[in-house]
Amino acid sequence: MLLLEYVHYKRTNSHITRTLFGRNIHPWVWNCYKVIGVFGFGMACSQLTTDIAKYTVGRLRPHFFAVCVPDVDCSKEEFRYRYIENFKCKGTDTQRLKDMR
């Protein structure tokens, strides 16, 4: 990004110097700040949307049973063909437990 902004700065004639808090800011630095700011804002919005969707849906990851090791015996007749919501994870890896949903 910085290299392309420098090339763009050298090829254009818009060398308008900006002033911020009484200091002159080089046009190349100002353009880089604008481009990186827009990119950062877009990246933050994308990450926020992804996290909200992931936590709202809450679909289990493929490695859920390997990480959580739930305290429910699914082979019992009372748990067969039912959606079990009340269980406790026996797994101890906290980082992987967070990522299992």
Residue-level pLDDT, tens digit, the chain, 101 residues: 778 888 877 787 767 777 888 888 887 888 888 889 999 999 999 999 998 998 888 787 888 888 888 888 878 888 888 888 888 888 888 778 777 76
DSSP state of 63: T
Tokens 């919501």 belong to residue: 85
- CA 79 from chain centre, in angstroms, equals 36
Are 79 and 43 part of one and the same domain? no
Instruction: Give the residue from 39, 17, 42 showing the smallest Cα distance to 30.
Output: 17
CA distance 66 to 73: 14
Tokens 């429910």 belong to residue: 72
- Which tokens is 77 given? 């007749």
CB 100 within 8 A of CB 63: yes
Are 34 and 64 part of one and the same domain? no
Are 47 and 2 part of one and the same domain? yes
Domain count, the chain: 2
**Structural domain span for residue 46:** 1-7+14-58
Question: Do strands 23-25 and 18-20 pair parallel, antiparallel, or not at all (unpaired)?
Answer: antiparallel
Scored b (16 or more CB within 10 A) or e, 51-71 reads eeeeeeeeeeeeebeebbeee
Are 53 and 78 part of one and the same domain? no
